């Protein structure tokens, strides 16, 4: 449905996106992952025709949309990271305004607004000003506006930032339902790895303006198929214990979330003995040890050297 | 599309009390405060100048008239001509006219206190702004000159007290004007010309001269209703530009673009919204001023025409400031416009102080500024002038509007730019 070829965006002193390629099939949910400054938002802006790429092409059903952005705009709904709504209008007034500028006819719009309010669960608050809404409700309306013109493709740029778990679940379920029931194609970016794992069929990982990994969840996880993750919980994390761990051979990565340590090591190597010896030497009490297969978060850490939320 | 943008804009205004206060309440309060505070300076009441005038009459006008009439009756003229001349003597006696028609007129009585005295000592003279002396035989010599010729016309004497410069100057102006009128009549009469017919002929040849006093006088409240309304119209442009930049900063503008709205249409929406808001604002302000301060317009069509043109200029300012803020990706342009540019153009335009009082180059420049053209055009229309009389101001407003729109068109963000 959508293809991106060698897309590059160069600003004055910086190349924000460096010749990336990716594609999306109809009905897919594709995750776009990357730390802050990875180039995700610039990529989204180029796909949605808001920013012209320096080089490269964006094709919708094999037709370039750079010269005719109207084509992609008709089928595209964008949920921006910011709450792009009028705070001093009611939910319904916002939907009416954006619906009318999408040139939806008055009677059709009335029906469509009812449908959208049902989808986003705001029917009972339609007459309230948006500024009185909770963060989660604003996020839901932010999505609702993007759904008004029944887009085939939705780009969601971190749609769950800063909201409570209940609203987050509601949004995830809504996205899943829209995808399953209406075959809407979704490009989803998030800082929450579990959201991407839950929703996405395929994933692109971006860093420093480049796609550094892509594929299905399993394909990406297989990058670390030769590794395993040791999750060690200690009573008190001591500096000498951490230094000792870093000095051990075969350890590929350590991430610390005091008092829990995540250590990535090759599957074939049994390093537990050495860890217990080191704990004894540094008077560190180990509360528990778990051996896990790598998660997407581990892969991300492995590839970028950073946590997703860094 | 534009209709929905206007509806949205008006709803946003109605729900933002701070903006409503700035656009409606604040100017109205300022109109009231400034208007009443400065009523004594610019008010419609005649200022109390307290001119004291001493009138010394040494001439016996009744005796002089009797003598002249007796001489006329002895002339070889038809009875009709004699009666006309005698009637002229009674009605055109300059001393009688000065006393009864000029100094005793209701207008001058308000500002001139005339004391009829026989003589004055040096000390008493200082108490007066001016002293008029009608010498003995004045009337007789005057009519001798008018009807029989030969001698030089007699002169009234006027002494001005230089220490009271304003009062003295006004007294002098009154007498100069009176003297010119009498000289005109006398000369015409001595040349055998009917002065009234001559005056009518001159008037029809050179067109009607409209004395300023026949136009409506504008009160201080009226003036500040104009000054403040024009200034606060520009704040509409600032407010609309602020809203427009908010739309950009929180990505509503992106959403609007994604709805396939062309950028010029978006800016047209801002233009029309500003136009509607400022037109409503000015009518509400003048409506309140009419109800509460009795500030009225002699011709509503003229008033509305000017208001429409000024509102369009406000719309042009709104789109220009919005386009600059979009281009700079900063609200600084709006802040500079609201806090520096508006007060500056309002001051130059005479929103705070009537520019006529400042005069000179300042007054000249003011006419060609956005607020100056608006203020002076409203002022004249409120006085009762026609649209033709304010055509210069209307042209200035139109030209500024067109230039601002053209600049906006050039600098407005282009599709796909990373603005």
User: Is residue A262 a part of any domain in this protein?
Assistant: yes
From chain A, the residues in CB contact with B1 under 8 A are: 100-101, 103
Per-residue pLDDT of chain B (419 residues; tens, 9 = 90+): 778 888 888 888 888 878 777 777 778 787 777 777 766 555 444 455 678 888 888 888 888 888 888 888 887 778 887 787 777 777 778 888 888 888 888 777 777 888 888 888 877 887 888 888 888 888 888 888 877 776 777 888 888 876 665 677 777 778 877 777 777 776 666 666 665 565 555 444 433 333 434 556 677 788 888 988 899 899 999 999 999 999 998 889 999 988 888 888 889 989 998 999 899 989 988 888 888 888 888 899 999 999 999 999 999 999 999 999 998 888 898 999 988 999 888 888 888 877 766 666 777 788 889 999 999 899 889 888 889 988 999 999 999 999 999 999 998 887 666 54
Domain parsing of chain B, residue ranges? 2-43+218-411, 51-214
Predicted pLDDT of residue B196: 59
Predicted pLDDT of residue B261: 86
Question: Which of B15, B252, B261 has the CB atom closest to A84's CB atom?
Answer: B252
Q: B4 vs A97: CB contact, 8 Å cut-off?
A: yes
Mutation target to probe the B interface, by most B beta carbons within 10 A, among A84, A151, A152 is A84
| Whole-angstrom Cα Rg for chain B | 32
Predicted pLDDT of residue B175: 81
User: Is residue A279 a part of any domain in this protein?
Assistant: yes
Residues A82 and A174 in one domain: yes
SS3 A147: helix
Angle at B239 between CA B236 and CA B240, to 5 degrees: 85
The total number of structural domains that make up chain A: 2
Q: Which residue of B has its CA nearest to A149?
A: B259
Q: Which residue of B has its CA nearest to A80?
A: B251
Q: Which residue of B has its CA nearest to A11?
A: B418
From chain B, the residues in CB contact with A84 under 8 A are: 250-252, 254-255
Q: Which residue of B has its CA nearest to A47?
A: B416
Token pair for B146: 């008018």
Predicted pLDDT of residue B209: 35
Residues A194 and A249 in one domain: no
Q: B15 vs A89: CB contact, 8 Å cut-off?
A: yes
Sheet containing A29-33: order of strands? A76-79, A153-157, A185-189, A29-33, A202-207, A210-216
Question: Which of B11, B250, B254 has the CB atom closest to A50's CB atom?
Answer: B254
Residues A283 and A213 in one domain: no
Residues A15 and A79 in one domain: yes
Residues A212 and A274 in one domain: no
> Which helix (H) or strand (E) element contains residue A99?
helix A91-101
From chain B, the residues in CB contact with A9 under 8 A are: 418
Residues A171 and A207 in one domain: yes
In A, what residues contact B, Cβ < 8 A? 9, 11, 45, 48-52, 69-70, 73-74, 76, 78, 80, 82-86, 88-89, 93, 96-98, 100-103, 129, 145, 149
What CATH code is carried by the domain that includes residue A265? Answer: 3.30.70.100
Residues A212 and A246 in one domain: no
What CATH code is carried by the domain that includes residue A115? Answer: 3.40.50.300
Q: B260 vs A82: CB contact, 8 Å cut-off?
A: no
Q: B416 vs A82: CB contact, 8 Å cut-off?
A: no
Q: B258 vs A76: CB contact, 8 Å cut-off?
A: yes
Residues A167 and A205 in one domain: yes
SS3 A254: strand
User: Is residue A166 a part of any domain in this protein?
Assistant: yes
- Between CA A91 and CA B244 the distance in angstroms is 20
Q: How far is A140 from chain B (nearest CA, A)?
A: 16
Q: A88 vs B12: CB contact, 8 Å cut-off?
A: yes
Residues A116 and A155 in one domain: yes
User: Is residue A310 a part of any domain in this protein?
Assistant: no
Q: How far is A94 from chain B (nearest CA, A)?
A: 9
| Residue A53: Cβ-neighbour burial (10 angstroms; 0-12, 13-18, 19+) | buried
User: Is residue A83 a part of any domain in this protein?
Assistant: yes
Give me the percent of chain A exceeding a pLDDT of 90. 29
Q: Which residue of B has its CA nearest to A145?
A: B255
Residues A196 and A233 in one domain: no
Q: A69 vs B416: CB contact, 8 Å cut-off?
A: yes
Q: B255 vs A84: CB contact, 8 Å cut-off?
A: yes
ipTM of the complex: 0.78
Q: B258 vs A73: CB contact, 8 Å cut-off?
A: yes
In the listed set A221, A247, A276, which residue is the last one of a domain according to the structure?
A221
Residues A66 and A91 in one domain: yes
Q: A51 vs B256: CB contact, 8 Å cut-off?
A: no
Q: Domain of A29?
A: 2-221
Residues A188 and A248 in one domain: no
Mutation target to probe the B interface, by most B beta carbons within 10 A, among A46, A58, A97 is A97
């Amino acid at each position: 449905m959508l293809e991106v070829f060698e897309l590059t965006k160069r600003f004055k002193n910086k190349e924000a996106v460096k010749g990336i390629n990716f594609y999306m099939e109809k009905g897919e949910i594709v995750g776009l992952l990357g730390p802050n400054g990875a180039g995700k938002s610039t990529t989204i802006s180029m796909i949605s025709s808001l920013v012209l790429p320096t080089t490269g092409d964006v094709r919708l059903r094999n037709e370039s949309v750079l010269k005719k952005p109207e084509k992609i705009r008709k089928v595209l709904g964008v949920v921006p990271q910011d709450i792009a709504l009028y705070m001093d209008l009611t939910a319904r007034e916002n939907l009416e305004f954006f619906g009318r500028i999408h040139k939806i006819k008055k009677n059709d719009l009335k029906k469509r607004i009812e449908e959208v309010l049902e989808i986003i669960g705001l029917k009972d608050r339609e007459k309230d000003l948006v500024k009185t809404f909770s963060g989660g409700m604003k996020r839901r309306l932010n999505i609702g506006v993007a759904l008004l013109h029944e887009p085939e493709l939705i780009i969601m740029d971190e749609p769950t930032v800063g909201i409570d778990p209940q609203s987050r679940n509601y949004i995830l379920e809504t996205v899943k339902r829209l995808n399953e029931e209406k075959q809407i194609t979704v490009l989803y970016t998030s800082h929450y790895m579990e959201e991407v794992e839950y929703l996405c069929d395929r994933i692109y990982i971006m860093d420093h303006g480049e796609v550094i990994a892509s594929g299905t969840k399993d394909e990406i996880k297989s990058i670390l198929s030769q590794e395993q993750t040791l999750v060690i919980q200690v009573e008190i994390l001591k500096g000498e214990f951490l230094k000792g761990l870093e000095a051990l051979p075969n350890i590929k990565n350590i991430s610390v979330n005091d008092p829990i340590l995540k250590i990535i090591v090759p599957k074939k190597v049994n390093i537990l003995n050495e860890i217990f010896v080191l704990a004894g030497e540094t008077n560190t009490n180990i509360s528990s040890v778990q051996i896990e297969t790598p998660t997407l978060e581990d892969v991300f850490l492995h590839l970028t050297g950073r946590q997703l939320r860094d | 599309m534009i209709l929905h943008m206007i509806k949205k804009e008006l709803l946003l205004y109605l729900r933002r009390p701070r903006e409503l206060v700035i656009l409606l309440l604040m100017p109205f309060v300022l109109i009231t405060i400034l208007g009443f505070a400065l009523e004594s300076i610019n008010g419609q009441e005649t200022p109390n100048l307290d001119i004291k005038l001493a009138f010394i009459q040494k001439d016996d006008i009744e005796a002089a008239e009797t003598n002249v009439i007796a001489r006329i009756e002895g002339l070889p003229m038809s009875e009709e001509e004699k009666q006309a001349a005698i009637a002229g003597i009674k009605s055109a006696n300059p001393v009688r006219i000065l006393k009864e028609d000029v100094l005793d007129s209701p207008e001058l009585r308000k500002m001139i206190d005339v004391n009829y005295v026989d003589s004055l000592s040096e000390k008493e003279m200082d108490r007066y702004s001016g002293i008029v002396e009608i010498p003995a035989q004045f009337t007789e010599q005057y009519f001798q000159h008018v009807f029989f010729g030969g001698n030089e016309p007699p002169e009234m004497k006027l002494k001005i007290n230089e220490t009271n410069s304003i009062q003295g100057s006004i007294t002098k102006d009154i007498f100069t004007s009176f003297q010119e009128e009498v000289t005109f009549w006398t000369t015409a009469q001595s040349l055998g010309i009917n002065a009234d017919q001559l005056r009518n002929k001159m008037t029809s040849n050179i067109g009607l001269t409209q004395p300023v006093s026949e136009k409506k006088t504008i009160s201080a409240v009226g003036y500040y209703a104009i000054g403040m309304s024009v200034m606060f119209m520009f704040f509409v442009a600032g407010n609309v530009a602020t809203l427009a930049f908010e739309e950009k900063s929180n990505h509503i503008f992106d959403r609007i673009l994604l709805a396939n709205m062309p950028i010029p249409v978006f800016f047209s929406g801002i233009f029309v919204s500003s136009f509607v808001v400022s037109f409503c604002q000015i009518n509400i302000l003048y409506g309140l001023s009419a109800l509460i301060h009795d500030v009225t317009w002699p011709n509503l069509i003229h008033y509305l025409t000017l208001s429409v043109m000024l509102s369009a200029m406000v719309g042009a300012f709104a789109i220009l400031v919005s386009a600059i803020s979009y281009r700079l990706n900063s609200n600084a342009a709006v802040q500079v416009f609201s806090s520096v540019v508006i007060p500056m153009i309002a001051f130059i335009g005479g929103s705070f102080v009537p520019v006529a009082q400042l005069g000179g180059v300042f007054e000249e420049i003011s006419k060609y500024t956005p607020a100056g053209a608006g203020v002076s055009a409203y002022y004249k229309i409120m006085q009762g002038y026609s649209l033709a009389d304010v055509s210069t101001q209307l042209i200035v407003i139109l030209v500024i509007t067109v230039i601002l729109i053209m600049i906006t068109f050039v600098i407005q963000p282009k599709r796909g730019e990373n603005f």
